[in-house]
Amino acid sequence: MNPIERYVSRPDIARLAGVGRPAVANWESRHHDFPSPRTVGGAEVFSTAAVAGWLDGRVIARNALGEGESPGATYGTRFRRNLGSVAGTVAPTAARIPAMPSPTHPAMTLSTAAPSTRSAVTPASPAGDAESALQEVLRGFRGAGLMMTGHRNLVLGLVYLRAVRQADWANLAEYGNLTPKVLVGWLESVAPGLHQVLREVHFAGPWQRLFGQLVRVVDQAVSARGGMEVYRFLLDWFSSMDGRRGGEFYTPRSLVRVLVEAVAPGPGARIHDPCCGSGEMLVAAAVHASRDGGEIPPVSGLTWTAELSEVARMNLAVHGVAGDVTPATGQALGGWLSETGPFDVIVTNPPFNMSLWKDQDTAYSRDWRYGPPPTHNANFAWLQHVALSLAPGGRAAVLMPNSASASESLRERDIRTGLVEDGRVEAVIALPSHLFYSTGIPATVWLLGRPTSARDEILFIDASGSGRLVDRTHRILTDEDVAAIADSVDRWRHEERGYGEGSGFSRSVPLEEVREHDYVLNPKKYLSTLPESVEGSGADRLHELRRQLERLRLQAVEVDASVDRELRRVGL
């Protein structure tokens, strides 16, 4: 029997999670991945499964623990307990609302309607159990040598079908035992776009058994956590498993939040990502633009391949975002730079230090306003292209390697100078190392703009001491870190000249001082580190102590890794 989706209001969320209503409002406004509401009878309500899944990621502070709650308990656990759940399922007292009708057109579409999570196969298991079961089956694919790119996309495609194409998912229950050849033919008939992502799948011996398990656990996971959360979880998981290759198609969630919060897209914004990977930047920007109750705006983006375009389109559809995502024309970056906008918001994480991005004969074919970028490195091709693609008053956030902010290449320095003198550089934010799955190097966020009036200052933020290590090779930025960066940018935009003067975290620097430093845009050049000094506020000293602690913690992790390598080398 199919489970029925149940919903709760904002006051219900506060009551069941044991928090005040302002806390719920803060979660919804500050976190782009907070479940989206659905309007029923004129009231906005939220899926209990989606809310519980999101709250699973929020640990209750020690001083807020209730009776019987142990350190490490999450608000998700408290929410389910107060809801009266049994084995992780939704309580019968929650509001019951029929599931939305599923699309009937066989082609893949990008609907702006919030996707339903009603199951068509099996009842939901507890969220944690479903997630663990999904990981176990995926490890089975890897163990059988099957977890290639096509199989990754197959899993994402199944989540898309389960969350958005419910009629097709119901049919999958009947067709799940077909031979691989017949099954793929059926998939092609109901979802041509999904078939495209299966072109690399190789149906080896254990595939049939594993596929049946995969269908069951995808159904359980989406039922327990919602399609949006499961899709994001899988992108995280595949990226961490793929290591360096994972960075080619996915930007970690905390990094996405920094870029989106810094540009703060508003209602009706024309949003674009010229190198959108799996579409995570576009999703976050579109959701942010609608978080005050407005409609989710359509977005656009370019990807490396047709296969990756389908992954991004499915990601948009699962999140209820309409968009036009297409593969770029041509293999050289020149084909990517033909789309000039204008756009109100651009958020992007292009490949760092891309070499041979254009052949020598066509390197100067575009009218580069600030001079032609060097052909051996595309960093300033991306930066200049983004800046020139903005509409008046538009904003952009671009991830760059640290080297771009202080490159001594004559061409790159000339472009950097032109961007600064033209008022195109709004802020530069230094980030810590080990934020990416693909590399341990630190990165910098460039906030670019097309100002409608002269700009004579640049905001510099040194967040290189932020974040926390979640394992030996990966760091995340916490909610507090993201909020500190976003709040600094927001206050600078709305306060008078000289904001942050003397602070060790952020400072607004006059262009005259930037010129004195030969247009070097490394935030550390302009921010005091305040080592053991009595100068500055207690907050400044605390920030510096935190940075020193993080450096020591990172060194300790690196020493541990070195010891482990030596022990393995000698067979211990």
Per-residue pLDDT tens over the stretch 212-269: 778 888 888 888 888 898 998 888 888 877 654 545 578 888 999 999 999 999 999 9
- Report the pLDDT value the prediction gives residue 469, as an integer from 0 to 100: 84
pLDDT at residue 122 in the model: 33
Mean pLDDT computed over every residue of the chain: 75
In this predicted structure, what is the pLDDT of residue 100?
28
Q: Which residue has the higher pLDDT, 301 or 328?
A: 301
Distances (CA, A) of 484 to 101, 345, 346: 42, 21, 22
263 or 453: whose pLDDT is higher? 263
Structure tokens at 551: 């450096």
pLDDT value of position 533: 41
Encode pLDDT of 66-78 as tens digits: 877 888 788 988 9
Q: What is the pLDDT of residues 32-53, one digit of tens each?
A: 788 888 776 556 788 888 898 8
65 confidence band (pLDDT: 50, 70, 90): confident
**Residue 280 · residue 315 · CB < 8 Å:** yes
Distance from C-alpha of 279 to C-alpha of 171, rounded to nearest angstrom: 28
* Residue 547 predicted with pLDDT over 80: no
Residue-wise pLDDT tens digits, 382-418 = 999 999 999 999 999 999 999 999 998 899 999 999 9
Cβ atoms 318, 228 nearer than 8 A = yes
pLDDT band at 445 (very low <50, low <70, confident <90, very high): very high
Q: What is the structure's pLDDT at 555? A: 57
* Residue with the larger pLDDT of the pair 238 and 21: 238
Q: What is the mean pLDDT of residues 424-444?
A: 89
Closest C-alpha to 150, from 192, 201, 195: 201
State the pLDDT at residue 401. Answer: 93
Residues of the chain above pLDDT 90, percent: 26
Q: How far is CA 200 from CA 21, 29, 116, 148, 218, in A?
A: 49, 40, 29, 8, 21
Q: Which residues are CB-neighbours of 86 under 8 A, at least 6 positions away? A: none
Residue 358 has pLDDT above 70, yes or no: no
Residue 59 has pLDDT above 90, yes or no: no
Contacts 24+ apart (CB under 8 A), 232-239: 232/33, 232/280, 233/131, 234/134, 234/155, 234/156, 234/159, 235/156, 235/278, 235/280, 235/315, 237/135, 237/138, 238/152, 239/437, 239/438
CB of 211 closer than 8 Å to CB of 113:
no
pLDDT at 322: 92
User: What is the rounded average pLDDT of the residues 191-216?
Assistant: 63
> Does residue 532 come out as left (phi exceeding 0), alpha (psi in the -120 to 50 range) or beta?
left
Residue bearing the bigger pLDDT, 350 or 561: 350
pLDDT confidence of residue 33: 81
In whole angstroms, give the CA distance from residue 509 to residue 457. Answer: 5
